[in-house]
Structures are given as structure tokens and as C-alpha cells.
Amino acid sequence: MEFLTGVKEKDTLEISGLLKTEAGESVKVNGAVHTIRNMGTVAFVILRKREGLLQGVYEEGAADFDLKDLREADTIEIEGILEKNEKAPGGIEIRMKHLTVLGRPADDMMPLPISKWKLNTSLEAKLNYRSISLRNLRERAKFRIQEGLTRAFRDYLYGQGFTEIHTPKIGARSAEGGANLFRLDYFHRPAVLQQSPQLYKQMMVGVFDRVFETAPVFRAEKHNTKRHLNEYTSLDFEMGYIDSFEEIMAMETGYIQYAMALLAGEYAAELKTLDITLPDAAKIPAVRFDEIKEKVAEKYGRKIKNPFDLEPEEELLISRYALEEWGSDFVFVTHYPSRKRPFYAMDDPADTRYTLSFDLLFRGMEITTGGQRIHDHGMLKDKIAARGMTEDGLEQYLEAFRHGMPPHGGIGIGLERFTMKLAGEDNIRETTLFPRDLSRLEP
């Protein structure tokens, strides 16, 4: 029998620990052999660690092992002397003395040249060998940026009095409508995979006032596009006691400012690796849907084809307009037509053809939908009826409203889309760890 008393102190150092260590000291580190550069009398063994690359220097005679004992993709532990070297990654290197091989690849050949700065392989190959391609530093960095966006969402919203919730992904009914529902058999009852946590996050406003969730959602998109996944991560929040729907946009603006500051402060290495310039989110313009459609049509000589929705090309032009006219990479487009919004959206009392809702566009693409919701029980039932929908599967949702709900609203951000636009990628699969699309169910 033994007791566990907390995290075990390790005798191996990480890069941040090495940077605090004096040159000349004996150190122990572990890592994966990223690449070996044999120069004859001396060899550079580059280790890949969670904080970046670390250079090991092998000199015959100085080490008690043979360089031939070492292979790329080995995971190893080395002991050696820490030295400063401006030319090495991070300005330090280890003169290797002793080697322990912890794990050895079964295959001598790597399917992709992961130690190259840019993996010049097709997206297909990157996705087929996902666990390998992500070992490339640039590929890996995108998901550290993604972590920063999620971490900022959590930290910021905790600070704003939100409660983090976890809602079910299997249900009787989902909220967003449309044809993209995954249907399944739930012990002989029809069920669906949730398109969003919409119904649940609204119900929880009646409990906690302010809630958020970061979780997968499911959309049976029957086409392959560069911006759609069949499973993506939605950053959702929902807040009660709002005075207006502008308050929701203000909260999202606050989150984006917080996220950009966090990335600038704690993800500088990844930003540099990916050559990302962070957008300025000090102020984000908000413009009405009908107004910006006309402005864009006029400025860029484009005919309005669909007055009720934005086409991808229009999103590009609206972003271009916002950058040229207002100097912003972000733009809120407000007052979407009611007929294009789900039943729960609050119609604008001033003109019920429109809603008190918005999309946030970033560098040419919608990354968020949000808005105020109907909170009156009677109004909600009327809208459901007016749309020709049934209340089946919505009984519990309606129950919350029957027993009182405050004015509220919220947003859903597509995490992979946000990461994609920030990282300057043009296909959402580039910023999805394991994408699910029409043809891809593995890995």
C-alpha cells in the first residue's frame, strides 16, 4: 500500500526550466528525436518537446553511446551539459553524455517529412496521417492557438460571472432547423444529435442567469465545402437580464479583446511560427444587414441576388468594406431577416420582418451567430405555431418559459472557423484536429 500525495517532482527539465539553468550545469531532458543532422565529427540531435525544439550536440568521445544507437522518432532521455549557443533554438543546447531510449518506432520510415518547416504535402495526406502530420511544428502551433481561443473564452466568462455547463448531445429535438440533422435510433425511439446547445443553454439561463459551454455539435452537411464540418466545436454563451441585444455583442467584443491579449502574451512563439498578425479588436463596427448589403452592392458594383441571406462572396465583400471604411477585421451584421432565423430568435418590435440578431464576420467569413431570444411563453408558442412546427420534443423547453424567464440572448462561435481565419488558412480542415466531413470518418 502507498499514498499518493500530489504531483511527482521530475528530475527532467522542460525548456522553460533549462532557460533558468546556468550554463555548465549537468541536466536531464526527454523528448522525441525530431531530426538528426550528422556533420561528421559532430551531430545535432534536435528534440521535439512540448515547448518547442531543443538542440542536443553529439560529439564522438564526449558521449558514452554511439550515434548509430539513435534514430529519428525515437523518444529518449538524455543527460548532458547545458550550454548557451545563440544559433540553437532558444539560445541553448545540451552536450550529450548519456542516452536512454524510452521508445523506438516500429517503422524506420516516417510517412511525412515532419521536421521540415512547412509540410508541403496535400491536405489529404496530412489528414490521412493525422497523428504524424501534427508533429510538425507549424501544424501543431495552429492547435495551440485554438487552445488559446478556448482558454480565453473560459477565463473571460468565468470572470464575467458565467457558469460552465455540459449539455447532452443526444436529444429528441434540436433547435436550428434545416435539413442537416443526424437522426438516430435511440432504443427504438427517434432521436437526433444536437446541432447546438441552444435549447439547453436557454433553459439554464433560468437557473444560473449566465452560462457557457465549449463542446462538439453536429451538422449533417451533405456537401463538402471549405467552411463546413459535420462535427465542430461550438463556443456558446447565453446571458440573462440583458437590456438590449447590443449587450450580447459587447460581451463578445470583450471576449475577443481578452483572447487577443492572451494570445499576444502567452502564445507569442506560436504566433511567430505561424506568422500571424493579431487583429485590433478595440472597437468593432456593427451595421444593419439591409444597410450593408446596399453599401456593398453600391461600392463594389454587385447585384443583390438574395435579399434574405448573405452569400459567401458577400461576406468577403462586407469584410473588405469594413476594413477599407472602418479599419476593422471584424464586423457585426445586425437585424437578420426573421425568415432566415430559427424560431427562438426575437423579432424586432420596430419591424418584425427583421430580428434582434447578428452574425460576426471576421476576415471574410461568418464566425458567430447570436442574438436576443423570445422569453415570453405565449410569444414563443405563437411563433412555433406560425412556423407550422409542432411542440413535440419541446415540452421541457417550453416548461422553462411557462415558469418565467428573463430577457436573454447569446452567441455560438465556430471554433475551427475562428482559428482558420486567424491562422490565415482557407480550409477549415486545416484547423480541425480530426475533421468529420462527407467522406471522412477516420482517423
Rounded to whole angstroms, what are the CA distances from 283 to 83, 244, 322? 46, 18, 12
Which residue lies nearer to ligand AMO by CB, 79 or 252?
252
Task: Number of residues interacting with ligand AMO: please give it, by CB under 6 A.
Answer: 23
Which residue lies nearer to ligand AMO by CB, 259 or 411?
411
| Binding piece for ligand AMO, criterion CB under 6 A, among 3-11, 17-25, 302-310, 365-373 | 365-373
Residues of 153-191 as b/e, b for ≥16 C-beta within 10 angstroms?
A: beebbeeeebeebebebebebbbbeeebbbeeeeeeeeb
Closest CB 142 distance from ligand AMO, rounded Å: 16
Closest CB 231 distance from ligand AMO, rounded Å: 8
374-380 LR contacts (CB < 8 Å, sep 24+): 374/344, 374/345, 374/346, 375/346, 375/401, 375/405, 375/406, 375/407, 375/408, 376/401, 377/401, 377/402, 377/405, 380/343, 380/344
When CB distances to ligand AMO are compared, the closest residue is 414
Q: In this structure, which amino acid lies at residue 364?
A: G
**Site string (186-205) toward ligand AMO, x via CB under 6 A:** ----------x-x-------
Task: Kindly give the pairing relationship between strand 330-334 and strand 286-288.
Answer: parallel
288 is in an annotated binding site: no
Told to check if 79 binds ligand AMO by CB under 6 A, we report: no
Told to check if 412 binds ligand AMO by CB under 6 A, we report: yes
Whether 207 contacts 240, CB under 8 Å: no
Which residue lies nearer to ligand AMO by CB, 115 or 198?
198
Nearest to 237 by CA among 393, 406, 371: 371
Q: Cα–Cα distance between 110 and 72 in angstroms, integer? A: 9
Told to check if 293 binds ligand AMO by CB under 6 A, we report: no
**Site string (416-435) toward ligand AMO, x via CB under 6 A:** xx----------x-------
Told to check if 228 binds ligand AMO by CB under 6 A, we report: yes
Member of 156, 232, 397, 401 binding ligand AMO (CB under 6 A)? 232
| Nine-digit cell string for 172 | 429528441
| Binding piece for ligand AMO, criterion CB under 6 A, among 9-17, 227-235, 260-268, 326-334 | 227-235
Q: Cα–Cα distance between 118 and 139 in angstroms, integer? A: 8
Task: List the beta bridge partners of residue 170.
Answer: 193
How many Cβ atoms are within 10 Å of 13's Cβ, its own excluded? 20
Member of 270, 366, 430, 437 binding ligand AMO (CB under 6 A)? 366
259 is in an annotated binding site: no
Q: Cα–Cα distance between 218 and 325 in angstroms, integer? A: 36
Residue 56 — left, alpha, or beta (φ > 0 → left; ψ -120 to 50 → alpha)?
beta
Which residue lies nearer to ligand AMO by CB, 317 or 367?
367
Closest CB 20 distance from ligand AMO, rounded Å: 41
| Binding piece for ligand AMO, criterion CB under 6 A, among 50-58, 113-121, 256-264, 361-369 | 361-369
| Binding piece for ligand AMO, criterion CB under 6 A, among 3-11, 50-58, 397-405, 412-420 | 412-420
How many Cβ atoms are within 10 Å of 17's Cβ, its own excluded? 13
176 is in an annotated binding site: yes
Told to check if 176 binds ligand AMO by CB under 6 A, we report: yes
Told to check if 338 binds ligand AMO by CB under 6 A, we report: no
Task: Kindly give the pairing relationship between strand 42-49 and strand 52-59.
Answer: antiparallel
Told to check if 171 binds ligand AMO by CB under 6 A, we report: no
* Cα dihedral value 318, 323, 325, 330, nearest 10: 70
Which residues line the annotated binding site for L-aspartate?
176, 219, 369, 373
Binding site for ligand AMO (CB under 6 A): 176, 196, 198, 219, 221, 228-229, 232, 234, 236, 366-371, 410-412, 414, 416-417, 428
Which residues line the annotated binding site?
176, 219-221, 227-229, 366, 369, 373, 414-417
